[in-house]
Amino acid sequence: MSPVSPGGRPPVPPAVHPSGADRNKRECIGPARANKSSSWDARSTVRTVPDRPYTIVSCAVSVDGCLDDGSPERLILSGPEDLDEVDELRARADAILIGAGTIRADNPRLLVRDPARVAARERAGRPPHPLRVTLTTTGDIDPAARFFAGPGTPLVYAASAAVPAAKRNLGGAAVVIDAGAEPSVAAVLADLHSERLVATLLAEPGAIMARDLLAGNLADELRLAIAPFLVGDKTAPRFAMPAHYPQNPDAPMTLEDVRRLGDLVIIRYRIMRA
């Protein structure tokens, strides 16, 4: 596992996986060389997944732990300094993961914003932007969403039942990957690592995906930006939905850094792999 950098700056992720863009065209989960009954089965538990990318979970929350409010408009929790730091994390990542719910709710582009960071990636022989990745059970994603606008072709991991509709719906806007009857985030991360050559993953998840990543012990770091207000809306999506979290009082995360960034507090925790 890669160490977390000291001193408050975003961590330096591990070296980029060797290139292999064609691998992203594969439309099923898991390695071609293994059979389906191996430990790569989509129903695998965390313990049977051999490896995964170095994964940072980044969320902005209100003081009362809300990721948004209950209104159709997106609640702004972040500030310019925080956005810039997240942009740096994006620039260092091989891929960015969100759940389909965040595409529907926020319609994010998930690109690196700073042209200097884009240029630095290209100078290093990397794609200008990280690979955009999502997961869906329903396949209910608008092909006009900015997630698909490019540059680059995103990956959509879909439950087997949703694959035909997702392919019809999305056309050539994405590579749709069959993630099995009951998709698991663990299997998606394992596939990203072994088959799409993703070494460093930034997750910018909503409520469900954040829960699955943390409860599944699939993250190496948690970065929380705390906005200086309370939402107080019982319909608002919340960070850390009820679940059995391995990061519990018996096995706490390691507090790596606490900083003020504009009006926000930034907290970074390191999480031990199981």
Q: Write out the residues near ligand NAP by the rule CB under 6 A.
A: 59-60, 67-68, 74, 77, 98-102, 105-106, 135-138, 140, 183-185, 204-209, 212, 237
User: How near is the Cβ of 6 to ligand NAP at its closest, in Å?
Assistant: 25
User: How near is the Cβ of 235 to ligand NAP at its closest, in Å?
Assistant: 10
Residue 224 parent element (H or E): strand 221-226
Residue among 20 and 70 whose Cβ is closer to ligand NAP: 70
User: How near is the Cβ of 3 to ligand NAP at its closest, in Å?
Assistant: 25
Residue among 2 and 137 whose Cβ is closer to ligand NAP: 137
Residue among 77 and 240 whose Cβ is closer to ligand NAP: 77
User: How near is the Cβ of 73 to ligand NAP at its closest, in Å?
Assistant: 10
Q: List Cβ<8 Å contacts ≥24 apart for 244-248.
A: 244/215, 245/214, 245/215, 246/214, 246/215, 246/217, 246/274, 247/214, 247/217, 247/271
Instruction: Label residues 205-243 b or e (16+ Cβ within 10 Å = b).
Output: bbbbbbbbbbbbbbbbbbbbbbbeeebebeebbbbbeee
Residue among 17 and 29 whose Cβ is closer to ligand NAP: 29
User: How near is the Cβ of 199 to ligand NAP at its closest, in Å?
Assistant: 22
CA-based end-to-end distance of the chain: 11
Residue among 122 and 142 whose Cβ is closer to ligand NAP: 142
Measured between alpha carbons, how far is 97 from 164 in angstroms, rounded to an integer? 22
User: How near is the Cβ of 176 to ligand NAP at its closest, in Å?
Assistant: 13
Residue 82 parent element (H or E): helix 80-92
Burial of 66 (0-12, 13-18, 19+ CB in 10 A): buried
Residue among 60 and 163 whose Cβ is closer to ligand NAP: 60
